Amino acid sequence: MADYSGSHRPGDTSRPAGKRFRTNGSAPASSASSRTAAPRPAGTRFSQNTSRPVSAQPSRTGVQPVYSRSGDSHKKGSPIPVIVGVLIAIAVVAGAAIFIFPRLFSGSDQTVEAGQQVTITIPDGASGDTIASILSENHIIEDPSEYYAAVKKLNAEMSLKPGDYQFETLQDPVEVVEQLVEGPNASGAKLTVPEGRTVGQTAQLVEETYGISADDFLAQAKASAYVSDYPFLSEAADDSLEGFLYPKTYTFSGTPTADQIIRAMLDQYQTDVVDALDFTAARIAINERYGLDLSDYELLVLASVVEREGLNASQRAHVASVFLNRMSGKGDFAGRPYLQSDATLMYVTGGAVTADDIQSIDSPYNSYKNAGLPPTPICAPSVEAIQATLNPTDSNDLYFYITQDEEYFSETYDEHMQSWE
């Protein structure tokens, strides 16, 4: 059974200072029956004037007609009006051919079968007219007025999102607009980042999913490249995004870039952590209870350790209290605020930690030899682990022993050792 207890007695060595980076600066299925597109109104027809040309008056100058018949004593009128009339008739027929016949025999009278899958792309920055045109051309919503009515009904003018979408022909306009508000739904490769993964492990998942090399992803994953857009990165140590690449399942249209993936993760961190959790209240409460003045970043670092040490929310809140008690120098840890966490050293070894590792590895992540917190988070913690850290159990415990089947928390080292027996 794995032991995450940190059962060694407190050490007495100093911690190397961590180098910190700071800067100022599917849509519902349609009815099984087919619907047909409403026929468009018939085009305006030309009404031809069939009156005969007026006969020409006799020439006053006595010019002879161009055409005459032998023995015909009557003078003929000028043929020019006749020619003009013929030309006008030809023009009328040509106009009908161009403007009327296509309307009579074009696709406007063709039947569009409902429920056919259609994939479209709404460009970034597309206007309402552009979106309506795309939907109409693809027979998703044939009448643009129905699209505009649905947008107005849902008050969605400012909520439509660009991207790749999969719709059905003759789909309900409200359903279409609802999907445009929700966002792209075209199928694509999904990237799933579980809780507790490091930046390096996330880079490997990205490579396996999208073919972006892990090295290229790591080269892009620098806090300095994003701090101007995401102020919560201002305290990130060693220019690292460790802890901030929020664990979740992501879907992108086509093949995303490393930058797009990172920004999606930082956006999610902003939404689910920064905007949703009250770090200020937690800092005040922890300071009052433990006498520790921790920043938001330091609480994230602690949460990453809590993520790796506990197995569920209740355990993690209790584990958080143990580490906070150790850091505040209670009991056996008076004057020796060491975390003594195997998880921090595993960040270096990448696997199980031995007694020899504890003694021999000289790293700021060896929390048996260095007081306080490691310089950066050791993974991307779940929101559950962050909440547990912000709201720790009220206890005086300094030791714990957790397996898949058992858990023991103790105030003294002797009690802790007895829990093993």
pLDDT digits (tens, 9 = 90+) for 60-89: 333 333 333 333 434 445 556 556 565 565
- pLDDT of 347 > 90? The answer is yes
- 379-396 residues labelled b (16+ CB within 10 A) or e (exposed): bbbbbbbbbbbbbbbeee
- pLDDT of 269 > 90? The answer is yes
Any idea which of 104-113, 114-123, 339-348 has the lowest mean pLDDT? 104-113
Global pTM exceeds 0.85: no
pLDDT at position 79: 57
Largest Cα span, the chain: 145
All domains in the chain, ordered by first residue: 117-182 (3.30.1490.480), 190-274 (no CATH), 279-420 (no CATH)
Cβ-Cβ contacts under 8 Å for 77 (sequence gap 6 or more): 55, 56, 57, 65
What percentage of residues in the chain have a pLDDT greater than 70?
Answer: 73
HEC per residue, 282-336: HHHHHHHHHCCCCCHHHHHHHHHHHHHHCCCHHHHHHHHHHHHHHHCCCHHHCCC
